[in-house]
C-alpha cells in the first residue's frame, strides 16, 4: 500500500505562509526572470490562468483581480520542502522523495490508512504551515490518481482519499484522459488514442503483452498498475546522476562577449559546486547559447560545443576555462543572446576518476584544497561570497527578480518580524 503526499500549490503556499492576509486572494509565482507562471493558488486557477502562461498576457487580469504576484524564491521553497519531507519521514520507515513537493510513503501493514493520512495532513500543516493532499492506493499510479481526486475534494474525510473506498472506480478511470496518466507522454497518448485507448479505463483493460510489444515495458507496467498490480517499487535511494546542468534565461539581451563569458563563468562555477557536493567528476563540458526564438526581427541562432578534459574533473577552475573557451568559439557579433548554459555529461564518481599522469606534481591536491576553501566560505557566508573575477562583467545576464517577497527561512535578515501590541 502506498500513500502519495503532495503539497497543494506548493510555491504559492510557501509565499502565503508568512502573509496570512493573502488567504483568499489569488497568488501567482513566476519563473526565472519573471517570464511565465509556474505556480497558482486555487483562486488564480479560477481566473483561468494556465500553468506556464507568459505573465505579460495575463498581467491585466491579475491586476483587476488584486492578485499577489511573486518572483520565484527557490531558497525558501527548497528549505520548506526539506522540512515537509522530514515530517513525512516520521510516519513511515520507507519513503521516496519524488519531487520538491511530492513524496511516496510505504503504508504496508497500516490497519487504517485513511486515519494515518489524516494525521499526516494535520501534522504537516501544523508543523510547517503547508497544506497537503494524500492519495492512498495499492500502486503508485493509482496513488497519483487518488491524490488528484483528493485535491479536487472527492475525499469523504477531507484532504485524504483511499482508492479502495471509491464507489465506482471504473467511472473515475473512464473520465481520466490517457495523456493525463502519470508516465504517459503526449506522443504515446496520441498513439494510444489511435488504437482506441483514449482513457485510463481503456488502458487498464488493454492486453498487457500487446502494450509491451507496441509501447514497451513502461506503458505495460502502467496498465498493470491500474489493475492494482504493484509494478513500481519505492526508490529509497535516488539513482546516480548521469549529468549536471546549469542553465538560465537572461534578464536582458546580452550582446557583449565579456558579458556572455561572465554568464557561463558563473554557470560553470555553480556546476563545479554541484559536482563536489555529490562526489562526482566530469569528463567533458558542453556550453550552449541561443538568441530569442520569438524575436521575428532577427534570425534565430543556437549552437553548442563540447570540450573534453584529460581526466574527469570537479575543479571549477578547469570547468570555467573550458566554458569560456567554448563560448568564444560560439559567439557571433551582432547577435542578442537570451540564454546560455553549461552541461556536464556522463559524470562519474570522483573516487573512480584516474589521476592525470601529466599534471604538475601536487597540482591535483592543491586544486582540491582551493575548491574546499571556496565551498566552505560560500557555505558559511552565502553563495558567491567568493567567486571568479570573470563573473563580474555586466549584469544583464543575471536573473531578473523584480517581485521577490524577501521572505527567507535560511537568512536571519529574511525572517518575518512579529510585534506584540
Asked whether residue 157 falls in the same domain as residue 219, the answer is no
pLDDT for 404 equals 64
Asked whether residue 213 falls in the same domain as residue 98, the answer is no
In a domain, 92, yes or no: yes
Q: Are strands 102-106 and 2-7 parallel, antiparallel or unpaired?
A: antiparallel
Question: Residue 292 belongs to a domain with what CATH number?
Answer: 3.30.1490.100
In a domain, 413, yes or no: no
Asked whether residue 249 falls in the same domain as residue 223, the answer is no
| Overall number of domains in the chain | 3
Flag residues of the chain having pLDDT under 70. 236-240, 355-359, 361, 394-416, 421
Asked whether residue 115 falls in the same domain as residue 171, the answer is no
In a domain, 409, yes or no: no
In a domain, 98, yes or no: yes
In a domain, 235, yes or no: no
Grid cell locating 74 = 527557490
Question: Residue 175 belongs to a domain with what CATH number?
Answer: 1.10.150.20
Asked whether residue 158 falls in the same domain as residue 171, the answer is no
Grid cell locating 249 = 534565461
Rounded Cα gap, residues 231 and 106, in angstroms: 14
Rounded Cα gap, residues 286 and 260, in angstroms: 15
Asked whether residue 259 falls in the same domain as residue 317, the answer is yes
CA torsion, ordered 18, 21, 27, 32, to nearest 10 deg = -40
Asked whether residue 16 falls in the same domain as residue 42, the answer is yes
Q: Which residues pair with 337 in a beta bridge?
A: 254, 291
Asked whether residue 181 falls in the same domain as residue 151, the answer is no
In a domain, 400, yes or no: no
Question: Residue 17 belongs to a domain with what CATH number?
Answer: 3.30.70.270
pLDDT for 298 equals 86
Residue corresponding to grid cell 488528484: 148
| Residue 356: domain span | 244-391
Asked whether residue 197 falls in the same domain as residue 102, the answer is no
Residue 297 C-alpha from the chain's centroid:
33
Rounded Cα gap, residues 258 and 333, in angstroms: 12
In a domain, 174, yes or no: yes
pLDDT for 399 equals 61
pLDDT for 337 equals 92
Rounded Cα gap, residues 317 and 390, in angstroms: 11
pLDDT for 264 equals 93
Asked whether residue 105 falls in the same domain as residue 141, the answer is yes
Asked whether residue 122 falls in the same domain as residue 135, the answer is yes
pLDDT for 238 equals 59
pTM: 0.72
pLDDT for 398 equals 65
Rounded Cα gap, residues 250 and 238, in angstroms: 31
DSSP secondary structure of 202-262: HHHHS-HHHHHHHH-HHHHHHHHHHTT--------SPPPPSEEEEEEEEEEEE--HHHHHH
Asked whether residue 207 falls in the same domain as residue 252, the answer is no
In a domain, 234, yes or no: no
Amino acid at each position: 500500500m502506498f500513500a502519495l503526499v503532495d503539497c497543494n500549490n506548493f510555491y504559492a503556499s510557501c509565499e502565503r505562509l508568512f502573509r496570512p492576509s493573502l488567504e483568499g486572494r489569488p497568488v501567482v509565482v513566476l519563473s526565472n526572470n519573471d517570464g511565465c507562471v509556474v505556480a497558482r493558488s486555487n483562486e488564480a486557477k479560477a481566473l483561468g490562468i494556465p500553468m506556464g502562461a507568459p505573465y505579460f498576457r495575463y498581467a491585466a487580469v491579475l491586476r483587476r483581480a488584486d492578485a499577489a504576484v511573486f518572483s520565484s524564491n527557490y531558497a525558501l521553497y527548497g528549505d520548506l520542502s526539506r522540512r515537509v519531507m522530514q515530517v513525512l519521514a516520521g510516519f513511515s520507515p520507507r519513503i521516496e522523495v519524488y519531487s520538491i513537493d511530492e513524496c511516496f510513503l510505504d503504508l504496508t501493514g497500516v490497519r487504517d490508512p485513511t486515519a494515518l493520512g489524516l494525521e499526516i495532513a494535520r501534522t504537516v500543516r501544523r508543523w510547517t504551515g503547508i497544506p497537503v493532499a494524500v492519495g492512498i492506493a495499492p500502486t503508485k499510479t493509482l496513488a497519483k490518481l487518488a491524490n488528484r481526486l483528493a485535491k479536487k475534494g472527492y475525499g469523504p474525510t477531507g484532504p485524504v482519499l483511499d482508492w479502495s473506498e471509491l464507489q465506482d472506480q471504473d467511472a473515475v478511470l473512464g473520465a481520466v484522459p490517457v495523456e493525463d496518466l502519470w508516465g504517459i507522454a503526449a506522443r504515446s497518448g496520441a498513439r494510444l488514442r489511435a488504437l482506441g485507448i483514449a482513457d485510463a479505463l481503456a488502458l487498464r483493460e488493454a492486453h498487457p503483452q500487446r502494450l509491451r510489444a507496441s509501447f514497451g515495458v513502461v506503458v505495460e507496467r502502467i496498465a498493470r498498475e491500474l489493475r492494482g498490480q504493484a509494478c513500481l517499487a519505492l526508490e529509497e535511494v535516488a539513482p546516480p546522476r548521469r549529468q549536471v546542468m546549469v542553465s538560465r534565461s537572461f534578464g536582458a539581451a546580452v550582446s557583449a562577449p565579456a558579458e556572455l563569458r561572465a554568464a557561463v563563468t558563473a554557470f560553470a562555477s555553480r556546476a563545479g559546486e554541484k559536482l563536489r557536493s555529490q562526489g562526482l567528476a566530469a569528463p567533458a563540458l558542453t556550453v550552449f547559447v541561443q538568441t530569442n526564438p520569438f524575436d521575428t526581427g532577427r534570425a534565430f541562432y543556437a549552437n553548442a560545443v563540447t570540450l573534453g578534459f584529460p581526466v574527469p574533473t570537479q575543479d571549477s577552475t578547469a570547468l570555467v576555462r573550458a566554458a569560456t573557451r567554448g563560448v568564444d568559439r560560439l559567439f557571433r557579433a551582432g547577435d542578442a543572446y537570451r540564454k546560455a548554459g553549461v552541461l556536464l555529461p556522463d559524470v562519474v564518481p570522483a573516487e573512480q576518476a584516474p589521476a592525470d599522469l601529466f599534471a604538475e606534481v601536487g597540482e591535483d591536491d592543491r586544486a582540491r584544497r582551493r575548491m574546499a576553501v571556496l565551498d566552505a566560505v560560500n557555505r558559511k557566508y552565502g553563495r558567491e561570497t567568493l567567486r571568479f573575477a570573470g563573473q563580474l562583467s555586466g549584469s544583464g545576464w543575471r536573473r531578473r527578480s523584480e517581485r521577490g517577497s524577501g521572505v527567507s527561512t535560511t537568512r536571519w535578515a529574511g525572517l518575518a518580524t512579529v510585534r506584540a501590541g
